[in-house]
Structure 1
Amino acid sequence: MSVPTRPGTADTLTVVLVKAGRTKIRYPAGTVRDDGDRLTVRAPWAAEGVRDFGFVRFEPGDVLTEHYWRTRWFAVKEVRTGDGGLKGWYCDITRPAVLRGSELLVEDLDLDLWVSADGSRVLRLDEDEFERSGLAERDPAAASAAVRALDELELLARAGGLEELLG
């Protein structure tokens, strides 16, 4: 069941994904829910063309329901085809999200997790990118929080708890 947004929140936000100090992508998203900690938005696949990861393809027509937390170091994106078929969940390890006016600022910390729709595939992604990022040297506390968040999400996914987290 969807919980209404808080009074005074915008119906449409701009999600701003930052990586290594640069804006990676900006896109409009409709607000689904905001309970003060978790902010849920829905948006069509915003990148150009198709992105084939080998284990899943993101393509025009896909719709993402994205869950961001102000107190957690991750975001979970439910990925569906245009006709509603569930592809799975793409989880980004991020600093806690910050809402500034109508912009939702999210800092990507390179680590990711993919969970297939049936839960049979749980894949840790981009650990090599994370190592090369130098975050562990620049901000050891953030690097530690990022690794803990990835571990937490992986445990939840393997136990079938992602849907409960998002419910």
Structure 2
Amino acid sequence: MSARPAGTEAGAGATLTVALVKAGRTKIRYPAARLADDGTRITVRAPWAAPGVRDFGFVRFEPGDVLTEHYWRDRWYAVKEVRTGGGRLKGWYCDITRPAVLRGSELVVEDLDLDLWVSADGSAVLRLDEDEFAESGLADRDPSAADAAVRALDELEHLARAEGLAALVGR
């Protein structure tokens, strides 16, 4: 039997609370069903948690949508597969974050402003919120974290264009 790092309890099907933190404040908290946890990557599924519809222009998140979210303890991003309630893939929304931390039944993720959208067919790969990232002051406060965030965005964009994100989350 292999030992698991602290905070990596098995328990597929258990409910976790995902806490998305931004600039030291909790942006949103929502329940999610834990699907898998291999000690490095935690995968959860949750309905669209924000109230109402959020129209980004390139995709609409709306009540009934279901997100399968992949968080890593050793990577600076999260990949969220977005589907309609009927199961149609809309695409992948990727948050650039510090590595995820599981504390008991709470999964804490610190959002670093940068995002990537990849459409279901892979034809649209959009870097998002680079202006917010620049304005956040992270490069001045924590240059190593800012560098890691930019490298993570570059890595995800490369993976999306070269292999597709389904290959990343299917591993």
The interval holding the TM-score normalised by the smaller chain is: over 0.9
Q: 1:69 aligned to 68, 72, 77, which one?
A: 72
Q: Is the Cα–Cα contact under 8 Å of residues 67 and 76 in structure 1 kept in the other structure?
A: yes
**Does residue 96 of the first structure (1) align with residue 106 of the second (2)?**
no
1:7 CA displacement: 3.6
Q: Does 1:155 align with 2:152?
A: no
Percent of pairs with identical residues: 82
Q: Give the counterpart of 1:40 among 33, 40, 43.
A: 43
Among 35, 59, 63, the residue aligned to 1:60: 63
Shift of 1:100: 0.1
Letter in 1 for 2:21: V
- TM-score norm. by structure 2 comes to 0.93
Given that residues 139 and 146 in structure 2 are in contact (C-alpha distance below 8 angstroms), is that contact kept between their aligned partners in structure 1?
A: yes
Displacement of 1:130 in angstroms is 0.0
Q: Is the 8 A contact 2:77 2:96 kept in 1?
A: yes
Q: What is the rounded CA distance, in whole Å, between the counterparts of 1:83 and 1:143 in structure 2?
A: 38
How far apart, CA to CA, are the structure 2 residues paired with 1:32 and 1:129? 32
**Aligned mates of 2:13, 2:21 — CA distance in 1:** 21
Where does 1:1-167 land on structure 2 (aligned, <5 Å)? Answer: 7=10, 11-167=14-170
Query: Which runs of 4 or more aligned residues in structure 1 lie more than 2 Å from their structure 2 counterparts after TM superposition?
Result: 5-10
Q: Deviations over 1:115-150 (max 9, x none)?
A: 000000000000000000000000000000000000
Is the partner of 1:118 in helix, strand or coil? coil
Equivalent residues of 2:118, 2:125 under 8 A apart: yes
Structure 2 unaligned spans of 5+ = 1-7
CA RMSD of aligned residues (A): 1.3
Corresponding pairs, count: 163
- Normalization by structure 1: what TM-score? 0.95
1:73-113 C-alpha deviation (Å, 9 max, x unpaired): 00000000000000000000000000000000000000000
Contact 2:32 2:45 survives alignment (8 Å): yes
The answer as to whether partners of 1:43 and 1:65 remain within 8 angstroms in 2 is yes
Contact (CA 8 Å) 2:10, 2:37: kept in 1 or not? no
Q: Tell me, which stretches of 5 or more residues in structure 1 are unaligned?
A: none
